[in-house]
Structure 1
Amino acid sequence: MEPVKKHVEEWRPYLYDVIQSKVDELRLLGYDHVTHDEVWNCLQKKVWRKSNEKTLHQVVQDVLHMSDRLFMSFLTVQVQQQDEELSQQIEALSQWEQDHKEVN
């Protein structure tokens, strides 16, 4: 009998304890405020971006083998994207302010 493959999102309800184990590990390594969602998002964007149909044991293995370096890389990209989005919002607000000064 072939192991059942599902989209990784379908396995998430079964993975609470495994993800908690990874959260605890990362907290021991100094990532004090890491959350389940951050670990999950990291896995989705860095590990499962190309192959997201997996068996349960493959998903568990991916969670347990996720390195702190991979997580740090994920966080770095997230911060850079947030900075870029903030810069774009500030630029748009400045442009809006200039446009409305000229009208008044």
Structure 2
Amino acid sequence: METKKHPYDPYFNVLTPVLVSKVEEFIVLGYGEVNKHDLWLFLTKKKWKKHKEGIRMYELVSDVLSLNIGEFMNFITVEAFKSPNLLSDLDSEELQELLQPKAE
């Protein structure tokens, strides 16, 4: 699958420390499967869908730091449902685990 380049892609390496900080925050909140590439995907496909010419670094940093887990998880959920191979990517044990009710 060919990925489309986003105008802010050159900033990825510069923003890596901020992305890692946000990932660590989400891990502390109990979302251990989040990584910086997932965050970048959210930012480029959702938050920065309409890019701004002449954007300043502090604006990008602010967008990353102000990201909340709710909007990120909503995006990830929708993206998972869009995936044509959502269930075929899981092995039978993972599928059974998903189908089992959680014990509280």
TM-score (norm: length of structure 2): 0.69
State the match for 2:20 in structure 1: 20
Residue 20 of structure 1 and its aligned partner are, at CA, apart by 0.4
Structure 1 residues without counterparts, runs of 5 or longer: 1-6, 90-104
Structure 2 residues without counterparts, runs of 5 or longer: 1-6, 89-104
Choose between structure 1 and 2 for higher RCO, CA contacts under 8 A separated by at least 6 residues. 1
State the match for 2:36 in structure 1: 36
State the match for 2:66 in structure 1: 65
* Cα-to-partner distance string for 1:19-46 (whole Å, 9 max, x where unaligned): 0000001111121111110010011111
1:84-95 correspondence to structure 2 within 5 Å? 85-86=84-85
Identity value in percent: 32
Closer/same/farther in 2, CA of residues 28 and 45 from structure 1, 3 Å limit: same
* Cα-to-partner distance string for 1:53-96 (whole Å, 9 max, x where unaligned): 421111000000011111111111111012xx138x9xxxxxxx
Cα distance in structure 1, aligned partners of 2:59 and 2:38? 19
State the match for 1:51 in structure 2: 51
Q: Is the 8 A contact 1:8 1:52 kept in 2?
A: no
Cα distance in structure 2, aligned partners of 1:76 and 1:12? 23
More helix as a share of residues: 1
What RMSD over aligned residues (CA atoms) do the two structures have, in Å?
Answer: 1.7
TM-score (norm: length of structure 1): 0.69
Matched letter for residue 80 of structure 1: F
Q: Is the 8 A contact 1:18 1:60 kept in 2?
A: yes
